Structure 1
Amino acid sequence: MNRDTSRRFAYIETCLYWGVGITARQLGETFEIARPNAQASIAAYRELHPNNLRYNGSLKRHEASDTFEAHYISDKPEFYLNYLRGNHLTSRFWKDEDWSELPIHDVDTLFRPHLQTDIIRTVVSAIQTQQALHLYYHAKAQTHYLTVAPNQLVYASRRYHVRAYNYDANKYIDLVLSRILEASFSLEDWVSSDEDKEWNTYVDLHFKPNPKLPEQLRNTLLLDFRLDNDIYTITVRKAVQAYVLREMERLDWRYQIPLWLRS
């Protein structure tokens, strides 16, 4: 199956399962194809998955059947909502097909730190071409020069970071991208993350609602995550566990105590 067909089938399933149905006109307008081609795509999908849809003659659209099974998309609600959010972010970068008429308002984007274009381009290029960098970096303790081999991009605590090998300290560190003041390529041999034990090691972090919270709030937290044994377990790379701990153990604005405690 070629990519165009696969994307059309994924769109058909998105409209069937997460929407109210699909029409040839809708499919054609989304992918900018002629109506006969859109009708042919729906017919091809029906031929492969005849039990997934039925035709509603009164509304003139194809709808999901009671026996619908997803083959090209996820039926998990968190993935669909993540898709809506991702599509909103993508639309700020380039024009792509909008697969949903549901707008999503991403408040998180209001808190992004400033990123300097030339610096980010240099960092991204260094990761892609496996080159080391000379940086002038503003850390909390001091502003200093350092040489690093960047490996991964990380988004945590509403900021973008880069995980990199620090030649001067002989260890892997996290750097906040908005705090890099200068960046240029270095002639040092690039060092991969193969020896980054913390990046390549996963740990389980266990949390429970703070017993000092009111019972109703503790029950709300348990309900949010559907916790049967009152324990919330997060599996994460050891290198980024500090960001998880910071999020989970932050003080609640109303009660001034953490919502969660490590179990």
Structure 2
Amino acid sequence: MKDTIKERLKFLELCLLLLGEFRKNYLHLFFGIKRAQQTKDIKAYEEECIGNIRYCDKLKRFLPTDVFEPKLLPTESHELLAYQKHVEDLIASKGEESPFHQIEYISQPFLTAPNIKLWGQLNRAITGKLVLSIKYSGLRKKEASYNIQPLALIHNGFRWHVRAYVVGEERYRDFVLSRMNKYQISELEYCSAGLLENDEKWNNTVELVFKPHPQLTPKQVQSVEEDYGMIDGSKTVECKVCNIQHLLKLTRTGLDDEQREAHLFPLILDYKNSPKLIDILNKLKSKKLI
């Protein structure tokens, strides 16, 4: 089966899953294909995913059967959500109205999206191994100049930043995209030592063990355990060393020797048995990153 047909069948299955129905004109809405091809695609889905779809004469549309089970869609929830958003964005780009319920994304309620020109420049610098000269304003420091080798773009749940090697300082650090005021390609030679594979904090990971705040009531503890999918009262997450401070802020996690209000910060980090993690956290605290 051609990839183009597989993509259309995956979209058909998404409609069955999210809408509980499928109409032929949905294929035209998303792919712009003719009626004859629409009929062939539905036939192909019936043959590929036997027992998943039936036609309802009364409603004049296709419905999922009682034993319907997705076979073409991503099995991981985050991948499925990403695919749904991809479909909705494509439909919107065609000026059409999506048949799906519109999900409200509030991960960035007031922070700006990346500047398109900057976004393009950073991507070109990463793939082309270029050095950029930037002007950067931090919260604790006035505008400063840096020569950086952009290595990776990351979204920390609130805003975008770029992991980069700072030329001349021989160190790696994160730069928030919205604080990069000026940027241009530098004539400096790309430093072969400043590659992502040499960034220890990027390549090394640690296990973070999250637990419910000890001051929560038993019912609140149960709710937190269910919210975060905890097993035996804890949740273990593998995290890049350079992303620890971002994950702690994103999850509203307090250190267990610095208890915060339980209803505002329902998680604590259990780290007392990890000398490596203790050292990392002490360094982050000294830099006021946590």
Would you say same fold, with TM above 0.5?
yes
Alignment of 1:6-155 (within 5 A): 6-85=6-85, 90=89, 94-95=93-94, 100-113=99-112, 115-142=114-141, 143-155=143-155
Please name the residue that 1:223 is paired with. Answer: 226
Q: Does 1:245 align with 2:252?
A: no
- RMSD between aligned alpha carbons? 2.9
Question: In structure 2, how many angstroms separate the alpha carbons of the residues matched to 1:45 and 1:157?
Answer: 37
Number of residues of Structure 1 aligned to a counterpart in Structure 2: 262
Q: Per-residue deviation at 1:167?
A: 1.7
- Give the conservation status (yes or no) of the 8 Å contact 1:31–1:97: no
Amino acid at match of 2:202: W
- Cα distance change of structure 1 residues 42 and 256 upon mapping to structure 2, 3 Å threshold: closer
Residue 174 of structure 1 is matched in structure 2 by: 174
Give the SS at the match of 1:194: helix
> Using the alignment, how far apart are the partners of 1:3 and 1:238 within structure 2?
39
- Cα distance change on mapping 1:19 and 1:257 into 2, 3 Å: closer
One-letter amino acid of the structure 1 residue matched with residue 215 of structure 2:
K
Residues in 2 aligned to 1:151 and 1:69: alpha-carbon distance in whole angstroms: 41
The alpha-carbon distance between structure 1 residues 52 and 98, as it changes in their structure 2 partners (threshold 3 A), is farther
Q: From the superposition, tell whether residues 93 and 177 of structure 1 become closer, same or farther in structure 2 (CA, over 3 Å).
A: farther
Deviates more, 1:39-48 or 1:15-24: 15-24
For the residue of structure 1 that corresponds to 2:196, the secondary structure is coil
Q: CA deviation at 1:193?
A: 0.6
1:189 matched residue in structure 2 = 190
Give me the identity figure in percent: 24
Q: Could you say which residue in structure 1 is the equivalent of 2:287? A: none
Q: Partner residue of 2:238?
A: 235
Distance 1:93 1:99 in 2: 7
Q: Note if contact 1:127-1:152 (Cα within 8 Å) is conserved in structure 2.
A: yes
Distance 2:70 2:156 in 1: 31
Amino acid corresponding to residue 110 of structure 1 in structure 2: P
Q: Quote the Cα distance in structure 2 between the aligned partners of 1:159 and 1:64.
A: 39
How far does residue 129 in structure 1 lie from its aligned partner after superposition? 1.6
Distance in 2, matches of 1:93 and 1:41, equals: 23
Partner of 1:202: 205
Note the C-alpha offset of 1:133: 0.9
AA aligned to 1:57 is D
Quick one: distance in 2 between partners of 1:253 and 1:65?
A: 50
1:259 and 2:266 matched: yes
Cα pair 1:11 1:99 within 8 Å, conserved: no
One-letter code aligned to 1:221: V
Judge conservation of contact 2:156–2:250 (CA < 8 Å) in 1.
no
CA deviation map 1:116-157 (0-9, x unaligned): 444333223212322111111112332211111101100114
Letter aligned with residue 58 of structure 1: K
CA change 1:247–1:107 in 2 (3 A) is closer
Measured at CA, do residues 67 and 46 of structure 1 come closer, stay the same or move farther in structure 2, by a change above 3 Å? same
Q: Structure 1 residue 205: deviation in Å?
A: 1.0
